[in-house]
Amino acid sequence: MTTDIELQYFFDPFCGWCYASAPALAGLADKFGDKLMMRPSGLFAGGQPVSSIADHAWRNDQRIQALTGQRFSKEYHQNVLLAPNGIFDSGPATLALTALGEHDMKLEPRFLHAIQIARYVNGRDTSNVQEVATVAVQVAGERGVELTVETFDGRLRNDTDLRERTLVRVEDTQRQMSTLGIRGVPQLVAVINGEAHVLSGEALYQGSAHLVAALDELRADA
């Protein structure tokens, strides 16, 4: 019997625990390709002063690093969390993810990882539209999709249709989370032969091999 599978990954680009699950997500993207659906939740979209969450975020990030080994650099702490007048807003990155997915949905998980590295390791302000556009264009170019930073930057700032499509996408994600009883991100749902299975969050932090094995067990039992 053929097993039909779709994977739904619920996340926000500025979620530290989503960054912790990046190795597992990379393995899913490689193995399952277009069966992986990225579901941005809009958790940190909208913008707030980064100073209002800086101390809490850094403590949480240090805990994530200790538990998972994912690196949060001093550059990130200094240039992002402690930036004067810094803004905490995952909206531009969520818009960019949608725009890239319209070229090739396989760009979406690649972009998510690239924007996480840009922020948490390289200390770049990924609330800044131009920074986001720069990362997006680089990711696209690596897959043979030629874009320019100027044009992509303009889309993120001014494309009302892109903004509306992204809003619809986020609202659909939030409805799906409510239906499935999902309260936070990251989360992975495997839809196998039409039946949704919410995997344990811990499975996302133990690397791709562990996660793929858990999915293989679910498929075998279907």
pLDDT in tens, 45-66: 999 999 999 999 999 999 999 9
What does the chain come to in residues? 222
CA dihedral 61, 64, 65, 71 (to 10 degrees): -60
Reported as a single tens digit per residue, the pLDDT across 90-136 is 999 999 999 999 999 999 999 999 999 999 999 999 999 999 999 99
Q: Cα–Cα distance between 222 and 212 in angstroms, integer?
A: 15
> Residue 152 and residue 140: Cα distance in Å, rounded?
11
Tell me how crowded residue 85 is: count the other CB atoms within 10 A of its CB. 7
Distance, CA of 139 to CA of 114 (rounded, Å): 7
Structural domains of the chain ordered from first start: 5-17+29-221 (3.40.30.10)
